[in-house]
């Protein structure tokens, strides 16, 4: 699959910035293009429109109920208050949802690290009977649409006795095909000679995997961690189906349920604070580890 960008080239920062420097340094023929100033203006406008919802939610979450009732359409709080956040955690059950989301994310990330590093390594570094079949399974997992299987998945979960449990929410996402693609791609770049040398020295396969491959696989493991965390944290439809009581709600399900509760419909500030709590962790991670997010998404074009 050439779709999968290799770990080294996938980071677009380096070539893009280098190209820019080269182009900037000499007045080449490429300077003949629509005015750069106009482009900046257009980009800034699109950027503002993109960021508008974020700014609006941040401002709204800091407004008091009275403030919002007085002027629903105002852009800035007349007085900044953190009361909405306090109410979310004190009375709306968000502390439990937050803990559930963290537990589910930890299970999913842990599962993906184990399943994907092992499977990706095997697919990249072993020639074995049935390899095409195994690869076909990964492709199938990637292609079968989620919406097509959630009814039988629910029946399976019920028969496993996992309905309304955090394990039931996490389990289907614990070996995501995208994680396997990322690991397989990375493992392909590890030189065979390294593994062969260890084999000649008499190292067993498990030892080679743990002592030689895994220590080299840091960047790929980081991408897998980020991608599976993102998948777990943002997943909505499956937790919505499996979680049947508030004690197993994850943050997105809890937020949707809270916003549907009749007395909250007009309580904008509370709901916007809830939206902040749900989106902020991922956005902060994204700001600091952007490279891995972009790599992961570019890897297969899947979230």
Partner 1 sequence: MTTTVSQTGPQGTAVSARPSRRAKRTGAHRRTLVAWLFLLPFLAVFVVYTAIPTVAALGFSLTDLRGTDLRNPFAVEFVALSNYAWLFSDGRFVRDLGNTAIFVLVGVPLTMLLGFALALALDAGVRRLRGVFRTIFFAPVVTNVVAVALIWQYAFNRNGTVNEVLSNIGFAGPNWLGDPNLAMPVVILLGVWRNFGIAMVLFLAGLQGVPEDVHEAAALDGAGWWRRLWHITTPLLVPTILLVSVLLTVFYLQVFDEPYLLTDGGPLGSTESVALYTYHQFGFGQFGLSSAASFVILVLVAVVSIIQFRLLRPRA
> Helix, strand, or coil here: 4?
coil
Asked if residue 126 binds partner 1 (CB under 8 A), the reply is yes
Least Å distance, CB 106 to partner 1, is 16
User: How many amino acids of this chain bind partner 1 (CB under 8 A)?
Assistant: 112
CB 31 within 8 A of CB 42: no
Measured in residues, the chain has a length of: 303
Shortest CA distance to 115 belongs to which of 167, 169, 162, 177?
Answer: 177
Least Å distance, CB 149 to partner 1, is 4
Shortest CA distance to 293 belongs to which of 3, 12, 2?
Answer: 12
CB 243 within 8 A of CB 253: yes
Can you tell me which of 6, 23, 99, 194 binds partner 1, judged by CB under 8 A?
Answer: 23
Contacts for 78 with CB less than 8 Å, ≥ 6 apart: 63, 67, 70, 71
Can you tell me which of 148, 202, 245, 263 binds partner 1, judged by CB under 8 A?
Answer: 148
Least Å distance, CB 218 to partner 1, is 19
Least Å distance, CB 3 to partner 1, is 6
Least Å distance, CB 194 to partner 1, is 17
Asked if residue 293 binds partner 1 (CB under 8 A), the reply is yes
Contacts for 177 with CB less than 8 Å, ≥ 6 apart: 138, 139, 141, 142
Asked if residue 141 binds partner 1 (CB under 8 A), the reply is yes
Q: Which of residues 149-188 bind partner 1 (CB under 8 A)?
A: 149-156, 158, 171-172, 174-175, 180
CB 252 within 8 A of CB 234: yes
Site string for partner 1, 29-58 (x = CB under 8 A): xx-xxx-x--xx-xx--xx--xx-xx-xx-
Indicate the residue among 91 and 206 with the shorter CB distance to partner 1: 206
Can you tell me which of 2, 91, 245, 263 binds partner 1, judged by CB under 8 A?
Answer: 2
Per residue, the 3-state secondary structure of 167-189, as one string, reads HHHHHHHCCCHHHHHHHHHHHHC
Shortest CA distance to 126 belongs to which of 138, 113, 135?
Answer: 135
Asked if residue 196 binds partner 1 (CB under 8 A), the reply is no
Can you tell me which of 103, 106, 137, 216 binds partner 1, judged by CB under 8 A?
Answer: 137
Q: Which of residues 67-96 bind partner 1 (CB under 8 A)?
A: 72-73, 75
Asked if residue 210 binds partner 1 (CB under 8 A), the reply is no
């Amino acid at each position: 699959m050439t779709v999968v960008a290799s770990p080294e080239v996938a980071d677009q920062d380096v070539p893009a910035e280098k190209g820019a420097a080269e182009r900037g340094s000499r007045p080449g023929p490429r300077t003949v293009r629509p005015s750069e100033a106009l482009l900046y203006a257009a980009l800034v406008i699109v950027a503002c429109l993109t960021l508008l919802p974020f700014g609006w939610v941040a401002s709204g979450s800091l407004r008091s109920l009275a403030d919002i009732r007085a002027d629903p359409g105002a852009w800035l709080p007349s007085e900044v208050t953190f009361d909405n956040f306090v109410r979310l955690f004190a009375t709306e059950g968000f502390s439990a949802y937050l803990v559930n989301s963290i537990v589910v994310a930890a299970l999913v990330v842990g599962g993906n690290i184990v399943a994907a590093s092992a499977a990706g390594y095997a697919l990249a570094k072993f020639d074995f009977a049935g390899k095409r079949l195994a690869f076909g399974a990964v492709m199938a997992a990637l292609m079968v649409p989620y919406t097509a299987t959630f009814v039988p998945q629910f029946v399976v979960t019920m028969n496993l006795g996992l309905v309304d449990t955090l394990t039931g929410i996490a389990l289907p996402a614990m070996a995501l095909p995208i994680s396997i693609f990322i690991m397989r791609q990375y493992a392909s770049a590890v030189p065979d000679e390294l593994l062969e040398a260890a084999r000649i020295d008499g190292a067993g396969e498990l030892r080679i995997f743990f002592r030689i491959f895994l220590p080299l696989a840091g960047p790929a493991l980081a991408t897998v961690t980020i991608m599976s965390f993102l998948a777990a944290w943002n997943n909505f439809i499956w937790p919505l189906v499996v979680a049947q009581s508030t004690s197993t709600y994850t943050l997105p399900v809890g937020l949707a349920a809270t916003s549907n509760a009749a007395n909250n419909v007009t309580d904008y500030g509370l709901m916007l604070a809830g939206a902040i709590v749900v989106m902020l962790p991922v956005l902060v991670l994204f700001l600091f580890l952007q490279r891995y997010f972009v790599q992961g998404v570019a890897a297969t074009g899947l979230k």
